[in-house]
Structure 1
């Protein structure tokens, strides 16, 4: 599972923009009694063996009519009872199957969430039994309990079932994680359960279906429907069951002799290869790296509408939100974004999560930390070590910036709700911890450990202790210290590093100080010393909060590089001089060596050494650092500007990375130099939306009237950042002539895009000369604020509406001012 719910990031930005205080966020929350509950691994009284489903759908009622035959056996102790999770269902018949006959059983349905069944006899663990259930699932009548990671938990979703929503396809799909599969079939809905599966879906014949495993048969029915039967013949957990139904076009690829397929809306089907075509290459890389070939019958990926999270690793059938669908033009600027890192993340789950599954949600790290880790190793393999380090560092920063994350253990046996473990600790911190361990053990031992873990626990469950044992078996090293520190403890080191050279004794001393509260972290690290034209590596350990390292040298070193592999999970204050950072940029090899040097240079641009670093970094081998250097330039400094401007012009026209070209154009645009106008106009011919957006913005800074004319020509084919640039240009100087474009694109945009563009949209709403258009905009802002009030969107929306009211009063537009007042009141009253 990966989550792309970024609403909270918008709220932070909005609070800054509109000046609303966030002081209340610093108030300590009251102690939650649920946090004191120990979340044990669910008891196994009965084990799932096989689950057979026969389902059909009522599109009008949003019901699913199901028949189930679930085979179980006692786990160890004899039992005469069974409890199944079954959320919000109408349970018509529950029976035990004996000699082909259904013998009714007594059952009690408790709180519409679980059913207690009295079996016909006492069963022992050497005998199995099959229960038949006739039921109706009513997902739309369930009370949702969504979370930040998964915004809804009704399990089964009917999308535009009546076909009344314009430009939206009719679809059905499921979402099982964490425990929502039991909203569409009765089961023991725990990750510690494993079962084989057979699903028969009867659907309108015009639709295609997808489920786990293989398509075993298709039967055309006389009533215009078709019954597709899918069989998953290797065991997996109930939350990984999936179904999807709709008008999808299927592109069939392959890996070795296994089917790899991509299910897309017809509009995007021509681009299936561009979107997903690298999947077989990733399967091959993971199979070879892990020493365990892709374990399932096939691998499919499907893109659906209105998905409640980012993507979901259903066994052999990953489901993606629509954000991964893109045209070739949109993919020009994607690089490792626009869903590509998500694609590899979900694929790695087919081993870590599906093949071996976390025994409980407390141990979610053995699923999600590994999927996060996989994003780094694929970036490293495909795009180079700098790209991998960039991704890994970005993950660490996401964790370090997240309030309260330093108080949470990676393995958590206490939580208020299981959804809470889907966070930056489990994902980003967990992935960084695995990369640290890979560095400590070395690739060979690390991947041997993963191979042992996967083979030992194949088609079963795992937890962090089994992972530790596998790494210890592979490496021969005791790793209790590592797991106790990083898996069963919270936080991270806050490390101060300072240096002292004693010329009399020719001694370099490095002072290390951990300043975090709580535990002391044991930190193995590499220290590289550059002196006399050579580099010497020292492997050292920091074992206490205060430590010092001494090195006898023939002369003062040019650089002492602590954590030379730049792999530690640490918040660092490294007190190097600018000269040392300059040396580091040109001599130390890692992405973060250069990153840190650019940061240091950015703060001291009046100094020649800093200028030297920044100008050199404009041509860094890694595009991300070229962009970082471009954005860091202080173009008000004459020396910087004179040195950088010709390089920026060169990059803007020739760099092989479109994001670098866009960044260069953006920086040149801020100079408002008329001599660059031809360069900007030439950039409009680029196929890159990012380059076009930067060029349009630059032209707008020089000549807003000309930008309006240019914008008109870009309206026919725009997306993403180009759409945002058009809205910004039109919001600044456009008239009612541009309003229909702005309104329609804002209305049709994703939630995140609406948040990103809300301020500019509001500005144009207040300024446009037609009252009817203003009232259109007010209604749009009101609807957005009410829908996402729980995320705090109401506060910036009310501020924007207040500004709009003031503008309309000045324009003597009483009707719009009144509409703004009414919208504010509706937002305020909304619950």
Structure 2
């Protein structure tokens, strides 16, 4: 049954530690934080019409008071008409501002109090809710919040640093099936031709993941050995082929659960949706673009990416938009890890090679660091740095610290920050602890330094000395990268491998080789994201290098 404002207040104390943690995060993305308040629960009541896009809404926010000296709560809300704001039986004064609503809270507050703030509103959303015909001409309604579009259809703190639990009470035309975050609590008859749906998510999630979908779905239930209820919500015209398009989703849930830790939500719904992105990782209710379904379509890589997000992005959420790589990079690398699991090293390499090719092509146009604080339009963060390059950062980290430390680090990071938020320094601290070494140089160069290494390698074999002289120049603009470089020298059916650290723009080394190498191979195991040009110079001659 719905939680009352009083029971919401009683449960608030359990989340105070997460609330204070979120407030302590450094901010670079320009969103004005409100350290005096934390919204920890949303109860959203919405009524959807059949004939138009008008919504009638009531949002009850459970707000923890951290600083009773601040009496003004700022909520994001755009394009909606607010009719009243109340707390208990008291009407609250409110003032619209360009990006939302300023609410004057009642007197008598104390630090640690939880207030139930109720906002009644209505209007036609200009963003955030897609109310339109699907590809089969049937009307559908889908929330489409990323990055900060939830403010167009409900009031709240529309930023990932302030996560909260959420419940939906949705009244919709009776022919719809409604899916949302969390578990289905109840379905009941409402006004003639209408039904009410109550979904509840008890884990704190970012507002961009708070979603519902309403359509003429056909629902197919799957089984997993991980104990996670798994279902596909597809348009009835394509329900028969939806499972084939999504691929080995049960195996993905099982793999990530075994490797990373428990699945963080009550269920997982895989939903065919009329939304803008190919896949959107909404917590426990992933939306996939409707055109990806159909006979012969293959969404398996997208499914692996979005399912990996349930752990990283949703359960562990970047506390600042500029640290989006902790979400998108982890999910992209999750695809490689899943294909390593089901297809071995070849499957892993295939994914990484695709990501490398895409990143290197983009870097020809614009070289920027992963942590690019010059970006103020959050949509521009959906770039190859935060996906492909970030995935390679994780691959390089794995190669550097080794298998055991890498997997222990991922599990520890998930366990420590599950249901909370993190920034890059938090992940670095976890990895340094499990690896027992300073990794500051690694994260500094790969997250804050633009581009990647560009190596020009010249080599020459000196038979009298039995050595190969290797000259390595880093030709990229800016500082040198520090690289644990492997060099292979195949000769006469055998291959000698040498490992060295390169940490300057120009390095010359001499490697033993009694016979003439057939060639010189830099990074034969593809452990480093870089471009390499190799040339053999001069005639093979006697003498010392």
Taking the TM superposition and a 5 Å limit, the aligned residue runs for 1:621-660 are none
- Counterpart Cα distance in 1 of 2:191 and 2:51: 21
Q: Distance in 1 between matches of 2:247 and 2:493?
A: 46
Q: CA deviation at 1:552?
A: 1.8
Distance 2:383 2:286 in 1: 21
Answering whether residue 414 of structure 2 is matched by residue 451 of structure 1, we say no
Using structure 1 for the length normalisation, give the TM-score. Answer: 0.59
- Check if 1:293 corresponds to 2:262: yes
Question: 1:406: how far off?
Answer: 4.6
Shift of 1:220: 1.4
Secondary structure in 2 matching 1:456: helix
Mapping for residues 166-177 of structure 1, pairs under 5 Å: 167-177=136-146
Is the contact made by 1:251 and 1:272 (CA closer than 8 Å) also made in structure 2?
A: no
The equivalences for 1:794-809 within 5 A come to: none
Query: Which residue of 454, 460, 479 corresponds with 1:519?
Result: 479
Moved over 4 A (4+): 403-406
Partners in 2 of 1:323 and 1:77 — Cα distance?
Answer: 50
Question: Is 2:177 the partner of 1:217?
Answer: no
Question: Cα offset for 1:230?
Answer: 0.1
- 1:407 aligned residue: 367
* CA distance 1:266–1:466, change in 2 (3 Å): same
When structure 1 is superposed on structure 2, of 473-482 and 438-447 the one drifting more is 438-447
Q: Which residue of 2 aligns with 1:389?
A: 349
Work out whether 1:424 is the aligned partner of 2:384.
yes
Distance in 2, matches of 1:167 and 1:351, equals 33
Partner of 1:203: 172
Cα separation, 2, equivalents of 1:416 and 1:195: 24
Superposition deviation, residue 179 in structure 1: 0.7
CA–CA distance in 2 between the matches of 1:268 and 1:196?
32
Residue 339 (1) aligns with residue 299 (2): yes
Equivalence for 1:96: 87
In the alignment, is the contact (CA less than 8 A) between 2:520 and 2:534 conserved in 1?
Answer: no
CA separation in 2, counterparts of 1:403 and 1:166? 36
Q: For the residues of structure 1 that align with 2:372 and 2:421, how far apart are their CA atoms?
A: 17
- Post-superposition shift, 1:94? 0.6
User: 1:450-529 maps to which residues of 2 (within 5 A)?
Assistant: 450-529=410-489
Does structure 1 conserve the Cα–Cα contact (< 8 Å) formed by 2:452 and 2:476?
A: yes
From 132, 152, 161, the counterpart of 2:118:
132
SS of 1:79's partner is: coil
CA displacement at 1:554 relative to structure 2: 2.2
In structure 1, what is the equivalent of residue 283 of structure 2?
315
Q: Which moved more, 1:443-452 or 1:341-350?
A: 443-452
Matched, 1:55 2:41: no
Aligned to 1:258: 228
- Verify the 8 A CA contact 1:262 1:276 in the aligned structure 2: no
SS, match of residue 401 in structure 1: helix
Normalising by structure 2, report the TM-score.
0.90
Alignment partners' CA distance in 1, 2:136 and 2:493 = 65
Residue 511 of structure 2, aligned match among 551, 562, 572: 551
Residue 103 of structure 2 corresponds to: 117
Deviation string 1:702-752 (CA, Å, 9 cap, x unpaired) is: xxxxxxxxxxxxxxxxxxxxxxxxxxxxxxxxxxxxxxxxxxxxxxxxxxx
Query: Which structure features the higher share of helix residues?
Result: 1
Cα distance change, pair 404–415 in 1 and its aligned pair in 2 (3 A): farther
SS in 2 for 1:402: helix
The 8 Å contact of residues 79 and 123 in structure 1, kept in 2 or not, is answered as no
Inter-partner Cα distance in structure 1 for 2:443 and 2:135: 53
- 8 Å contact kept, 1:38–1:413: yes
Q: What's the CA shift string for 1:492-511, capped at 9, x where partnerless? A: 11111221000111111222
Closer/same/farther in 2, CA of residues 288 and 123 from structure 1, 3 Å limit: same
1:277 Cα deviation from its structure 2 partner: 5.0
Q: Is the contact between residue 281 and residue 307 of structure 2 (CA under 8 Å) also seen in structure 1?
A: yes
Q: Distance in 1 between matches of 2:532 and 2:421?
A: 37
- Give the Cα–Cα distance (whole angstroms) in 2 for the partners of residues 462 and 523 of structure 1: 27
Largest Rg, 1 or 2: 1
Unpaired runs of 5+ residues, structure 2, are 1-26, 538-545
Residue 285 and residue 576 in structure 1: after superposition, are their counterparts in 2 closer, same or farther (change >3 A)? farther
Deviations 1:306-352 (A, max 9, x none): x212211100000010232122xx15xxxxxx321110000000010
| CA distance, structure 2, for counterparts of residue 51 and residue 235 of structure 1 | 10
- Count of aligned residue pairs for this structure pair: 509
Q: Tell me the distance in 2 between the aligned counterparts of 1:394 and 1:449.
A: 25
1:172-197 Cα offsets, whole Å, 9 max, x none, are 00111111111111001010011111
* CA distance, structure 1, for counterparts of residue 181 and residue 169 of structure 2: 11
The reply to whether residue 302 of structure 1 matches residue 288 of structure 2 is: no
- Of residues 86, 90, 94 in structure 1, which corresponds to 2:77? 86
Ranked by relative contact order (alpha carbons within 8 Å, sequence separation 6 or more), the top structure is 2
Residue 270 of structure 1 and its aligned partner are, at CA, apart by 1.2
Within 5 Å, give how 1:314-393 maps onto structure 2.
314-327=282-295, 330-331=296-297, 338-393=298-353
Residue 249 of structure 1 and its aligned partner are, at CA, apart by 0.5
Q: Which secondary structure does the structure 2 equivalent of 1:286 belong to?
A: helix
Identify which of 87, 93, 116 aligns with 1:106: 93
Contact 1:73–1:124, Cα closer than 8 Å, also in 2 = no
Superposition deviation, residue 544 in structure 1: 0.5
Distance 1:311 1:75, change over 3 A: farther
Helix, strand or coil: the match of 1:491?
A: coil
**Structure 1 regions of 5+ residues with no counterpart?**
1-36, 143-153, 332-337, 578-831
Name 1:573's counterpart in structure 2. Answer: 533
Deviation (angstroms), 1:525: 2.1
Mapped pair 1:68 → 2:59: yes
